[in-house]
Chains A and B, each alone.
Chain A
Amino acid sequence: MTTALTSQLDSAKWSFSTRRVDRTQICDLDTRFAEARAGDLILAQVDQIGQHRRIQLPSGRPSDLFPGDLVVLACGARYAPDQFEGIAEIAPDGADMLAGGGCIGRMTARNERIKPATRLLPKGRLLGQNGVPVNLSQFALPDPARPSEIPVIAVLGTAMNSGKTLATAQLALGLRRAGWKTAAIKATGTGAFGDYNEYSDTGAHYVGDFTDAGMVTTYLEELPRIRNGIDRLLGEAQRRDCEIAVMEVADGLFQRETAQLIADPWFQSRISGLVFACGDAVAAAGGVAELARLGLAPDLLTGMLSCSPMASREAETATGIPVLRKSDLSDPAEANGFALQAGADWSRAA
């Protein structure tokens, strides 16, 4: 690697999604942006500040962005109804910062209520030995030799911001308090440290997301790759002696990858418990009906809905499924009952 490239990479702000990358493997860069594919690492310069004023660093803190800053992000798509839709394409004259966690691509749609994307000027695509593009997939967790067997409680929801991440974190907290070695996993979505940090703060024994499985985003990825990513994450959780996993699936039931995943027999057979987060009683009834159509039945409802006793009663009446507040999920007595019914085994048992 040239001194100039070393200097640029050292001064660049590397994004959270690149946290597994072994930087010593980077030897060069090119400008063949038309050939960039999802997961390739892109060195870019901040051009105009837009929606994302900060970039999330691997250390877990956000860093303010200023025009002229060098950044390293992964090329990827984005699905975020309250922000952007974007695809994994890099134009040489300018690209969009699609996610603060480190996703660069081309914005194709924007929520009316937010600013245009922060604009980036691509400087180069990072290359490894033999001129091969450096891709996040090269640093993914290993494919487990055999599938993990730990019970999985899946957390689904009606949409973004329905309360899935809070539910996942609070349930992980309750399980940890009850003495379980718990994995908190995000199966799908776009790489960002918000959910990861929220899981970590609960003291979960292992925290991982799809970026650990080599994807900056799961949007527009094919189902077998997403399944494989989940396998890798659960394999790692088992390797670290976790006894149970709480796994959030991003976005709403109708989102492309979520819809494919929850309809998948492998996924349905792999989960031992199901939490559904929603915002109101109508959403609860609709979501439960959609899940029933797919052959799934939530064990409990939670989310924004649970903040309202009246909405909770309506939802319980409409669905027959109990509504739990976040304080219930983090209660070790509640969480422990859920773990036992999911078939968890305490490895320290005599």
Chain B
Amino acid sequence: MPSSSASIFQIGQTSSFTCTSPAGRLSARIIVPAQTSGEAPLLVLHGISRNARELTELFRPEAERTGRMIIVPHFSERDWPVFQRPTRKARPDQALLALLTAFEAAFPDQAGPVSLFGHSGGAQLAHRFAMLFPQRAADLHLAAAGWYCLPNETMAYPYGLADSASPRDLFWARRHGAGLRRFLDRPIHIYVGSRDTARDETLRQTPELDRLQGHTRLARARTYVQALRMAAAAEGCPPRIALRELPGCAHDVAWAIRRAGLARMVTTPAQTGLSSAA
């Protein structure tokens, strides 16, 4: 079991928590509501702005309202220059596994799959983590990822599951595809701002990516949802995939939470019509 430096967790408070793993250290804040419900804990993954502290504050009311425990990791720039997806050199997936194991050790009654929320680069990590370890995700909430690993072979890994020229990518493509049916067999909620259409320097742009996933985050979210639905149908999974376009929102997650109620949508998935029961 990974070692952890967890101190005493205070009910109704936010505690800091650090654990080690073969991939390195990862710190997280854990919001422990005054009264916990039986709902799956929520893991909130920040994007490249690394605004874990801000997300903690933005999600805190939802923890208290729903009784869900909320875990907000912080991938520091020093320890995690790359955290958006597992690569040969960076293994945020291993760090998240260690974090969840340590969390379960501290809160045995909360053991089980977690809800996964990620924004931008965090959504990138969230959907890849869920593909690799689908049994660990009760449901998935992806907000404005820049691009996706499509659940089909229309693109080579890391954009899809087709073979690439790199032998190591073969490993990753196989790993992401091994549990594909189980990945598709859970509720997946995609969120994107209706105005998230800027092609700035943080958006990955290649001719093939633009052509096959779209030119903007909005277009890419729509492409991904379509690909998910087709893959789910091909696997015989019931369609539990929802796209929410957030009116008036661009790429700012704080804005989407404050103005469009994104955090409430995530913590109350019934509003989107999909159950989180796995």
Contact = CB atoms under 8 A, between A and B. Distances in A.
A332 B94 contact: yes
A348 interface: yes
Interface string A309-350: 000000000000010000010001110111011000110111
B112 A337 contact: no
B112 A336 contact: no
A177 interface: yes
Interface string B81-94: 00000100000011
A336 B174 CA distance: 11
B274 to A, nearest CB: 14
Nearest to A316: B167
A178 B133 contact: yes
A11 to B, nearest CB: 39
A128 interface: no
B175 A334 contact: yes
Given A332-B97, A350-B277, A179 B136 contact: yes
Given A340-B135, A341-B178, A349 B278 contact: yes
B182 interface: yes
A340 B132 CA distance: 10
B94 A337 contact: no
A203 B101 CA distance: 13
Nearest to A346: B135
A45 B1 CA distance: 42
Interface string B170-205: 011011011100100000000000000000000000
A203 B276 CA distance: 31
A332 B40 contact: no
B113 A177 contact: no
Nearest to A340: B179
A179 B97 contact: yes
B43 interface: no
A333 B90 CA distance: 13
Nearest to B128: A333
B138 interface: yes
By secondary structure, the B interface counts as helix
A350 B113 contact: yes
B134 interface: yes
Contacts, number: 66
Contact of A333 (B86, B135, B278): B86
Interface in B25-44: 40
Interface string B1-37: 1000000000000000000001000000000000000
Interface in A95-134: none
A340 B175 contact: no
Interface in B244-278: 276-278
A203 B132 contact: no
Contacts of A328: 171
Interface in B65-115: 86, 93-94, 97-98, 100-101, 111-113
B100 A337 contact: no
A65 to B, nearest CB: 36
Closest 6 pairs (CB-CB, A-B): A337-B178, A346-B135, A340-B179, A348-B112, A350-B278, A333-B175
Interface of A: 177-179, 203, 322, 328, 332-334, 336-338, 340-341, 345-346, 348-350
19 contacts: A177-B98, A179-B135, A179-B136, A322-B174, A334-B175, A336-B133, A336-B179, A337-B177, A337-B179, A341-B179, A345-B135, A346-B113, A346-B135, A346-B136, A348-B111, A348-B113, A349-B112, A349-B113, A350-B276
Given A332-B93, A348-B112, 17 more contacts: A177-B97, A179-B100, A203-B1, A328-B171, A332-B97, A332-B133, A333-B93, A333-B94, A336-B133, A336-B179, A337-B177, A340-B182, A349-B113, A349-B135, A350-B112, A350-B113, A350-B278
